[in-house]
Structure 1
Amino acid sequence: MLNYVASPNELENKVILVTGAGGGIGKAAALSFAAHGATVILLGRTVKKLENVYDQIVTSGGPEPAIVPLDLKGATAQHYRDMAATIINQFGKLDGLLHNASVLGHLEPLKQITEELFDEVMQVNLKSEFLMTQALLDPLALAPCASVLFTSSSVGNKGRAYWGTYAISKFATEGMMQVLADEYSNTSLRFNAINPGATRTSMRAKAFPAENPDDLKAPQDIMPLYLYLMSDESKSENGKTFVAQPK
């Protein structure tokens, strides 16, 4: 699956929502999904970045995407319910959801973490995913074979000093994925997570400023796994965390 080769039309007629689609892994995923036939819903907080991805998809001949400008930090349950209703009205279903957007917070001792920072990281990395997934279960259930992907991390299954807020949010993310996978086992919905590993992104640069980015894989290098888990080839996969760059 790490070397999965998707057919050119592997995701044809699928509608897939990608959060954090303006850059990094989210952008690479949106472009890859569209290149294989999917209609992509681009969600992010910076309209200019989303428009850039939109233009790249259209220029390359992919299906016309949709743009949803939304700041997960301030979004409410009603925002997600309205989004779900719009998706049903415009597309009739939702075949895939990639929870990619996250914030790092600060790398610091747990004793020094402020309540404000803790709440901000949990809002973006966890609560927004909970509320969005809850609202989108209805359009996902209308698809014949729907895939929901959460983004985890190596610190999401083994805690690491100074990574407190981010690690806690990712532990909880994996737990939420597993709960949903169990609740929806033997249905048309499946839930999995991806640990992308060390990848050339702005978040990685913030966490490891002295690291040479040229030593890291680019987001597009790990897309085979994302394509596999969004394709019907992975319909038997449920409740698992996949490591994109195993050591």
Structure 2
Amino acid sequence: MHSPVIPTDYSPAQDLLQGKVILVTGAGDGIGRAAAESYAAHGATVILLGRTLAKLEAVYDAIEAAGGAQPALFPLDLATASEADYANLAEAMDSTFGHLDGLLHNASLLGERRPIASATWPAWAEVMQVNVNAQFLLSRALLPLLEQAPQASIVFTSSGVGRRGRAYWGAYAVSKFATEGLMQVLADELENTSRIRVNSLNPGATNTAMRRSAYPAETPTVNPAPQDLMPAYLYLMGNDSLGVTGQALNARA
């Protein structure tokens, strides 16, 4: 559905995120990298979380080269991370920053593209672990730090197939329906008792490695680059979106 909440002509102030601390999962490439670099360019200190250290280091270097605040690195494989790993992350962030202003749940696995009847359990379970369970564990671990911020934002990454199911999208589609449910429950719990707003954002077709894997016959350049979606990602992380919570939004019309 199209939401009128994100202004189509939104132009963020250069200091929109000045002084904010924002964690981005899947920050090594694609939309996660674009978001991390964009947040840093608008003043944020960004915590880069991903499973491939070399990719995180490349983003780290790019942010520093562009004059952004020194980021923090936290390599973590969401498919195998334990409950203790999330507690350790929260403890490290508490001792370093003392609060968290934003959390972008961007990391996702595509998994198998096949009918439910022939889906394999290991692949299904891995998608659920990364796309749903990891979001729950990370959100729960970081809520106390988010509560310490003057205003905080949690953004879950959704998908068109997580709002209307489609054949052969299997675990990925089901995981995105679960993501929407997690967003709604958390937003409702926090709406009247917290300064934390919670929304989901569907980036739509974007020229990323996941999209190219899902649609190998598609010409990648017909879709916008991740950088083209950043106004929506900036809007939801900055104070211009205060009061917007519990919404299933689209990055573009």
Same fold (TM over 0.5): yes
- Per the alignment, residue 209 of structure 1 pairs with 216
- Per the alignment, residue 48 of structure 1 pairs with 54
SS in 2 for 1:130: helix
1:174 and 2:166 matched: no
Which of 48, 64, 71 in structure 2 is aligned with 1:65?
71
Describe the superposition over 1:142-183 as per-residue Cα deviations: whole angstroms up to 9, x where unpaired: 001000000000000100000010000000000000000000
Task: Report the TM-score, using the length of structure 1 for normalisation.
Answer: 0.98
Separation in 2, partners of 1:194, 1:209: 24
Question: Structure 1 vs Structure 2: percent identity of aligned residues?
Answer: 56
The alignment yields a C-alpha RMSD, in angstroms, of: 0.7
Which of 24, 32, 45 in structure 1 is aligned with 2:30?
24
Contact 2:21 2:46 (8 Å CA) reproduced: yes
- Per the alignment, residue 202 of structure 2 pairs with 195
- Per the alignment, residue 77 of structure 1 pairs with 83
1:35 and 2:41 matched: yes
Contact 2:49 2:73 (8 Å CA) reproduced: yes
Report the CA distance between 1:114 and its aligned residue.
1.2
1:232 and 2:239 matched: yes
Separation in 2, partners of 1:109, 1:237: 37
Separation in 2, partners of 1:236, 1:126: 25
Contact 1:27 1:53 (8 Å CA) reproduced: yes
Contact 1:148 1:190 (8 Å CA) reproduced: yes
Contact 2:101 2:146 (8 Å CA) reproduced: yes
- Per the alignment, residue 108 of structure 1 pairs with 114
Which of 147, 168, 171 in structure 1 is aligned with 2:153?
147
Contact 1:2 1:222 (8 Å CA) reproduced: no
Separation in 2, partners of 1:229, 1:3: 14
Separation in 2, partners of 1:117, 1:46: 20
Q: Which amino acid aligns with 2:249?
A: F
Task: Report the TM-score, using the length of structure 2 for normalisation.
Answer: 0.96
Separation in 1, partners of 2:250, 2:234: 14
Contact 1:41 1:67 (8 Å CA) reproduced: yes
Report the CA distance between 1:2 and its aligned residue.
3.5
Runs of 4 or more above 2 Å deviation: none
Structure 2 unaligned blocks of 5 or more: 1-6
Separation in 2, partners of 1:162, 1:3: 35
Contact 2:24 2:49 (8 Å CA) reproduced: yes
Separation in 1, partners of 2:172, 2:68: 35
Describe the superposition over 1:16-65 as per-residue Cα deviations: whole angstroms up to 9, x where unpaired: 00000000000000000000000000000111110000001001100000
SS in 1 for 2:54: helix
